[in-house]
Structure 1
Amino acid sequence: MKNRVITALLVGAMVLSSAAPVFAGETEVATEAAAATAETESATEGAASTKSSAAAPDWDEYNSLINQIYSETDMKARKALMHKAEDLLMDTGAVVPLYFYNDIYMLNKDCTGLYANLFGFKYFAYMSAPNNELNANLASEPDHLDPALNSTVDGACLAILNFSGLYAYDKDNKLVPELADGEPQESEDGLTYTFKMKPGLKWSDGDTLDANDVVYSWNRLANPDTAADYSYLIDSMNVAKKDDGTLDIEASDDGSTFTVHLAKPCAYFLDLCAFPAFFPVPQQAIEKADPDGKNPGAWALEAGFVGSGPFTLTSWTHNQSMTYEKNPNYWNADAVSLNKINFMLSADDTAIYNAYKDGSLQFIDTVPNDEIPNVINNDDFYIIPNLGTYYACFNVNSSLFDGKTPEQAAEMRKAFSLLIDRQWIVDSVGQTGQEPAGTFIPDGMADGMGGVFDTNDDDYTYPVTWKFGDKDAVGYYDPSTTGPTDDNIAEARKLLEDAGYEFTDDNKLSDSTPINIEYLTNDGTGHVAVAQSMQQDLAAIGINMTINSEEWNVFLNDRKNGNFDFAREGWFADYNDPINMLEMWQTSSGNNDAQFGR
């Protein structure tokens, strides 16, 4: 899930989150349909031949590998396939991991009950605050409040205020039934799940919510016309399809049960039932706002839309503030003590921090880079674990690689990566104990067999993919030793010379073969500090990198549509399985910012 948190830690999906996704970049509604149509057309091709620039890697093998992983039931073989996919991804040099996330926030001591999960979601619903009112900053203007269209972590945090899923995470990071009434009934072969819905469920407008709403919403997520970046999770979950192409899911006649049929078992099935993209949404409101189906997010662009969560959005002054008020029709409303949550919408981390210091805000998700040493030992400053990676990404179709072979383009990108001083970024920008990243899948992610995915064993050397400098093991590099050292400069020079570049005697690019590149980022002192660090590192051999900082919505749109050479990215896992970090790079994925196969 791309992340959008504006802090020295750069926490935040999708990811975006990403992902998001924190979670991939999303567009304004007016431009979303056209961009997404191209992606969904690609999605229908599956692992069929894909076309992109001559310098881009052939992505057919990768697409096929992901499909194999989806269908593989032997867990050891599945792990080996995922290692192969990760190696293919990293060998392109297009994804440049910088560090593995942790998360930070500041919370006034008069406020209690906030909790978060490993995927960056923050749960405000069961908090206590003076006068039962919380003033907070989560991020700037959200891109989508429709949970099927959102692909950012801040958007997910808002989605779990507005909506409910079959399952949720509790304060102990455990999955618990939400709209579901207890555990589902599971068939012996693991292919059928039947959920009993809680009785008396209602939408925030008082209308009945039942299993039919879940059926509608899951089919809507899978429908290409919805243009959901996360539609590929339907395939990840292995949901079976009917002959007419709709999902093999059904509601009982009275709407009291919801049944899902899978084509293959899915170990993380219940995790996805707690993921916002799978939350039920109100069919009547959606179709009223978008009768011709051309603007799927139209129903949730202003305050007052129908939801099912503990709060409803009652006021929205765009780019300034949002007010959420308690939903009396929420199934667990008696457990909600807050009456109101007021969100300040801003990306100015200095203004946000000052508002916290003067008491205007009680919760903030960002701290200016130069303030971290002053607050890191305070009892209102929190550092919590996450599963995610902060990274930079090349557009494989960028004109930067014109005239190069795929191998030469990859060598160029690896030279860039080698010169970036990750340890300095962690120590001087992050400052809260992040770990330099040598690969995209975050450290500590489960392997599905009770172990950790990226560990050294007889079958795998971590973190593999290419030899950097004079290392003992071929394929190994230590991310804590990258940067413009003499050895790394010599290796980077060799990689670039292999790609056709010429150098002067002082290891600087010749005037006859310059490299000029633009780095795209969004606002925030931490993001800009990372960019400036990389700018200085690359200048060591004469690479001229300019920095372009954009507003969040514009930034996401440009990344999504490939309007960049090199860009900052962040991704929180959506569930604890490596496939989630790999499936986003399929050609058909709405989160494939690198433009692989396009």
Structure 2
Amino acid sequence: MSFTSGCASLQSSATEVGGVRKTDDRSVRDGGTLTVALNSDPDKLDPTLAQTLVGRTVFAGMCEKLYDIDEDGVVVPQLAAALPTTSADGRTVTLKVRPGLKFSDGTRLDAAAVVTSLLRHRDLPGSARGTELAPVTSIEATGSDTVRMRLKQPYVPLTGVLADRAGMVMSPAALKKYGKNFTNHPSCVGPFRFVERVGGDRIVLKKDPNYYDADKVHLDGVVYKPIPDGNVRLANLRSGDLQVGDQMGPVDVQSALTEPKLQLFNSPSLGYQGIGLNVGNVNGLGQKPGKLDTPIARDVRVREAFELAIDRDTLNEVVFQGMYEPACGPISPQSAIAPGVEPEDCPKRDIAKAKKLLKEAGVKTPLKIELKTSTTPEQGRVGQVLQAMVKEAGFDLSLRPTEYATMLSETDAGHYDVFTSGWSGRLDPDGNVSNFLKTAGAMNAYGLGDPEIDRLIAQGRTVADPARRTGIYDELTRRVQDAHTLIYLYRQKNYVVATKDVAGIRVYGDGLVRVTNAGYTR
């Protein structure tokens, strides 16, 4: 397979399929169970430790947050009674909790319960939320419905942080009872409560009568089933064994559009997909980077050569039928604070320069590298295309398909050369950079440690002016590009296919399938 840079026949932007459709507000009846197919098995069902998008989709059914986003990407109160208030100096944030809330175990959600969860998110060893809440120095309940947070300095992203897993509130009684085993007995506030999990097969939720808005929950329950193969998901949608297929790939979407019994939901993504390169992860996730004696880690020229061997437009066309968007930075154009880095600014494929860089680095070719990918057919195709592309520059790329949760644990531990790395995205740009790019960030699996990147991340967190923040993240994006540690390749579209007898589903830019008010039309 040969790839020619700058092929004129390639589209430069993603093909729109079916138009943007985020909601379905048809009337529904009460009763019935909805079966939702996920493209992989979620990791831990513990909001403090979880890292996966599929896990967030399950949480959307059983673990609500202090804040959420609406169809337009605006942050709105969920478990909180209103948006937080901030002191004039930006160092004290106060929030009110909605009255009358109960966890799925029947215990009360009050300000003290919120404090318990926030402290756990910030302080628990191994927490994936630690970086997000590190600027918070103290958290206290000043009344039964009031929480006060003190900050080291102004922290602009905080409300957005609390609209994600760091804002999920867990039952203190369940945390005390189950401890480290909370992941097998999660208890939060949500339209549905956890019933059981059979690893690799299903997660079962049932309608929770304790839910504050139970009258608007129509389904008896929801079953989430991991089905990595999109063809199998589509076949099960056709047969009626499934009602919702999450994260459907372009090939399956094209097929679904011809099916009279199926409907498509489509929203632009806030996230990215790319390749992570191990440059210093020798001590594990969230630890300070160490010295790694590999050509990729030693010399940035090797990493740059690897990126220059990749043609993003061709990858998009060959694997995704041009339905995604080439990308080369962490922050989506959907963000209100988006740097001026457009797809046309991405590095163009340059095999001659890639070979020159490898020669200057003194690397003997072909250079053997292993790429870890998930086991989905789509990621397999991405790996195969990358394998063929980089071979022309002098890389011998072997592929190692790995079950997703296993791949996460292996990459977290630093047991990899390069891996397919993706993120579902957040509205505030800090949510797309700090966890991953900050030295010892809670999800920095790459071993990246750059004081200048750290400085820019810190600056972006404290500046409220949109124009100044945009300039900061523009500089940060270009600094990250020069490091060639996380090579951003494309932005997905959030494609969800459902049977037409189901309504009330919502699919926003964060990629979650919301089924709180879903139900059957007949």
TM alignment of 1:210-249, pairs within 5 A = 210-225=110-125, 227-235=126-134, 238-239=135-136, 241=137, 248-249=138-139
Matched with 2:109 is 209
Residues 531 and 318 of structure 1: is their aligned pair in 2 closer, same or farther, counting only changes over 3 Å?
A: same
Counterpart selection for 1:429 from 319, 327, 332 = 319
2:40 is paired with a residue of what secondary structure? coil
Matched with 1:556 is 408
Residue 246 of structure 2 aligns with an amino acid whose one-letter code is D
Q: What's the offset of the Cα at 1:575?
A: 3.3
Counterpart selection for 1:396 from 279, 282, 285 = 279
Residues 130 and 425 of structure 1: is their aligned pair in 2 closer, same or farther, counting only changes over 3 Å?
A: farther
Distance in structure 2 (CA, Å) of the matches to 1:105 and 1:596? 40
Distance in structure 2 (CA, Å) of the matches to 1:197 and 1:134? 30
Counterpart selection for 1:286 from 161, 165, 175 = 175
Q: What does the per-residue CA deviation read over 1:109-147, in whole Å, with 9 as the maximum and x for residues that have no partner?
A: 9x9459xxxxxxxxxxxx947844322112332211111
Residues 364 and 259 of structure 1: is their aligned pair in 2 closer, same or farther, counting only changes over 3 Å?
A: same
Structure 1 position 251 matched with structure 2 position 251: no
1:493 is paired with a residue of what secondary structure? helix
Matched with 1:387 is 270
Counterpart selection for 1:340 from 221, 227, 241 = 221
Counterpart selection for 2:161 from 268, 272, 294 = 272
Matched with 1:419 is 309
Distance in structure 2 (CA, Å) of the matches to 1:358 and 1:223? 47
* Cα pair 1:313 1:325 within 8 Å, conserved: yes
Q: What's the offset of the Cα at 1:299?
A: 1.6
Residue 34 of structure 2 aligns with an amino acid whose one-letter code is L
Residue 354 of structure 2 aligns with an amino acid whose one-letter code is A
* Cα pair 2:161 2:431 within 8 Å, conserved: no
Distance in structure 1 (CA, Å) of the matches to 2:428 and 2:152? 21
Structure 1 position 133 matched with structure 2 position 33: yes
Matched with 2:332 is 442
Distance in structure 2 (CA, Å) of the matches to 1:547 and 1:501? 21
Among all aligned residue pairs of Structure 1 and Structure 2, give the percentage whose two residues are the same amino acid: 27
Counterpart selection for 1:541 from 389, 393, 396 = 393
* Cα pair 2:390 2:396 within 8 Å, conserved: yes
Q: What does the per-residue CA deviation read over 1:136-173, in whole Å, with 9 as the maximum and x for residues that have no partner?
A: 11233221111111111111121222122222223343
Q: Which has the higher contact order (CA 8 A, sep 6+)?
A: 1
Residues 454 and 199 of structure 1: is their aligned pair in 2 closer, same or farther, counting only changes over 3 Å?
A: same
Residue 337 of structure 1 aligns with an amino acid whose one-letter code is H
Q: What does the per-residue CA deviation read over 1:144-203, in whole Å, with 9 as the maximum and x for residues that have no partner?
A: 111111111111121222122222223343222222223434333333232222222111
Matched with 1:318 is 199
Q: What's the offset of the Cα at 1:316?
A: 2.2
- The structure carrying a bigger strand percent of its residues is 2
Matched with 1:168 is 68
Residues 398 and 591 of structure 1: is their aligned pair in 2 closer, same or farther, counting only changes over 3 Å?
A: closer
Q: What does the per-residue CA deviation read over 1:542-577, in whole Å, with 9 as the maximum and x for residues that have no partner?
A: 421111101111111111111111111111223322
* Cα pair 1:586 1:592 within 8 Å, conserved: yes
* Cα pair 2:131 2:441 within 8 Å, conserved: yes
Distance in structure 2 (CA, Å) of the matches to 1:382 and 1:288? 40
5+ residue gaps, structure 1, are 1-98, 115-126, 242-247, 291-295, 456-461, 464-475, 483-487, 503-508
Residues 586 and 266 of structure 1: is their aligned pair in 2 closer, same or farther, counting only changes over 3 Å?
A: closer
* Cα pair 1:306 1:312 within 8 Å, conserved: yes
Q: What's the offset of the Cα at 1:371?
A: 3.6
Matched with 2:84 is 184
Distance in structure 2 (CA, Å) of the matches to 1:101 and 1:287? 49
* Cα pair 1:104 1:365 within 8 Å, conserved: no
Distance in structure 2 (CA, Å) of the matches to 1:314 and 1:105? 36
Q: What's the offset of the Cα at 1:219?
A: 0.9
2:79 is paired with a residue of what secondary structure? coil
Residues 306 and 220 of structure 1: is their aligned pair in 2 closer, same or farther, counting only changes over 3 Å?
A: same
* 515-524 or 260-269, larger mean C-alpha shift: 260-269
Q: What does the per-residue CA deviation read over 1:52-78, in whole Å, with 9 as the maximum and x for residues that have no partner?
A: xxxxxxxxxxxxxxxxxxxxxxxxxxx
Distance in structure 1 (CA, Å) of the matches to 2:15 and 2:441? 26
Residue 400 of structure 2 aligns with an amino acid whose one-letter code is N
After superposition, the CA RMSD in angstroms is 3.4
Counterpart selection for 1:301 from 159, 184, 189 = 184
Counterpart selection for 1:144 from 44, 60, 76 = 44
Residues 588 and 273 of structure 1: is their aligned pair in 2 closer, same or farther, counting only changes over 3 Å?
A: same
TM alignment of 1:350-499, pairs within 5 A = 350-367=231-248, 370-375=251-256, 380-397=263-280, 402=293, 409-431=299-321, 433-447=323-337, 452-455=338-341, 478-479=346-347, 481-482=348-349, 488-499=350-361
1:380 is paired with a residue of what secondary structure? strand
Matched with 2:483 is none
Distance in structure 1 (CA, Å) of the matches to 2:46 and 2:407? 20
Structure 1 position 155 matched with structure 2 position 55: yes
Distance in structure 2 (CA, Å) of the matches to 1:445 and 1:539? 35
Distance in structure 2 (CA, Å) of the matches to 1:492 and 1:532? 19
Residue 558 of structure 1 aligns with an amino acid whose one-letter code is E
Residues 101 and 147 of structure 1: is their aligned pair in 2 closer, same or farther, counting only changes over 3 Å?
A: farther
Distance in structure 1 (CA, Å) of the matches to 2:374 and 2:68? 31
Distance in structure 2 (CA, Å) of the matches to 1:140 and 1:438? 25
Residues 201 and 586 of structure 1: is their aligned pair in 2 closer, same or farther, counting only changes over 3 Å?
A: same
Residues 264 and 113 of structure 1: is their aligned pair in 2 closer, same or farther, counting only changes over 3 Å?
A: farther
* Cα pair 2:434 2:441 within 8 Å, conserved: no
Distance in structure 2 (CA, Å) of the matches to 1:331 and 1:575? 27
The count of corresponding residues between Structure 1 and Structure 2 is: 429
Counterpart selection for 1:575 from 397, 406, 427 = 427
Residues 371 and 214 of structure 1: is their aligned pair in 2 closer, same or farther, counting only changes over 3 Å?
A: closer
* Cα pair 1:165 1:280 within 8 Å, conserved: yes
Residues 283 and 555 of structure 1: is their aligned pair in 2 closer, same or farther, counting only changes over 3 Å?
A: same
Q: TM-score, normalised by structure 2?
A: 0.74
Distance in structure 2 (CA, Å) of the matches to 1:273 and 1:394? 30
Distance in structure 2 (CA, Å) of the matches to 1:491 and 1:204? 59
Distance in structure 1 (CA, Å) of the matches to 2:296 and 2:237? 52
TM alignment of 1:75-94, pairs within 5 A = none
Matched with 1:27 is none
2:303 is paired with a residue of what secondary structure? helix
Distance in structure 1 (CA, Å) of the matches to 2:200 and 2:95? 39
Counterpart selection for 2:370 from 518, 521, 533 = 518
Q: What's the offset of the Cα at 1:515?
A: 1.0
Residue 498 of structure 1 aligns with an amino acid whose one-letter code is E
Distance in structure 2 (CA, Å) of the matches to 1:420 and 1:192? 47
